[in-house]
Amino acid sequence: MRQRYGDAYRVCDSVLAVVPDDVTFRYMKLAVLQSQMSDYESYALDGDACVAMAESVLVRVEKRLTLDPPPDEKSMLMYVKATVLGTAGMTKTKNGSILAGIRYARASYSLYRNLLEHATLFPDVLYGIGLFDYYLGDNLRWIPGLGLQARRGIGYLYEAADSDSPFRYAAKISLLWILLEQKKFTEADSIATGVLANYPEHSVFLQIQLQAVFGVGNYQRAIVLGKELAERSLKRQPVNWCDVLSGYYFMAASWLRLDDKQKAHTIAEKALSYQIPADTLRIDWVRKHRERLVAITEACRRR
Query: Do residues 252 and 273 both lie within one domain?
Result: yes
Q: How far apart are CA 173 and CA 45, in angstroms?
A: 22
Cβ-contact 179, 158 below 8 angstroms: no
Query: Do residues 42 and 139 both lie within one domain?
Result: no
Query: Do residues 114 and 16 both lie within one domain?
Result: yes
Q: Cα dist. 38→55, 120, 135, 280, 302 in Å?
A: 19, 28, 17, 14, 36
- Of 54, 127, 49, nearest to 87 by C-alpha is 54
Q: How far apart are CA 236 and CA 216, in angstroms?
A: 29
Query: Do residues 111 and 157 both lie within one domain?
Result: no
Q: Cα dist. 93→66, 101, 103, 140 in Å?
A: 30, 5, 10, 14
Number of domains, the chain: 3
Q: Helices 168-181 & 123-140, crossing angle to 10 degrees?
A: 30
Q: How far apart are CA 75 and CA 120, in angstroms?
A: 7
Query: Do residues 159 and 232 both lie within one domain?
Result: no
Identify whether 290 is part of a domain: yes
Identify whether 178 is part of a domain: no
Q: How do residues 238-297 score in pLDDT, each as one tens digit?
A: 999 999 999 999 999 999 999 999 999 999 999 999 999 999 999 999 999 999 999 999
Query: CATH number for the domain including 100?
Result: 1.25.40.10
Query: Do residues 111 and 130 both lie within one domain?
Result: no
Query: Do residues 15 and 115 both lie within one domain?
Result: yes
Q: How do residues 71-83 score in pLDDT, each as one tens digit?
A: 889 989 999 999 9
Query: Do residues 188 and 116 both lie within one domain?
Result: no
The whole-model pTM stands at 0.91
Identify whether 72 is part of a domain: yes
Domain limits for position 198: 183-303
Identify whether 249 is part of a domain: yes
Percent of the chain predicted with pLDDT > 70: 94
Query: Do residues 133 and 96 both lie within one domain?
Result: no
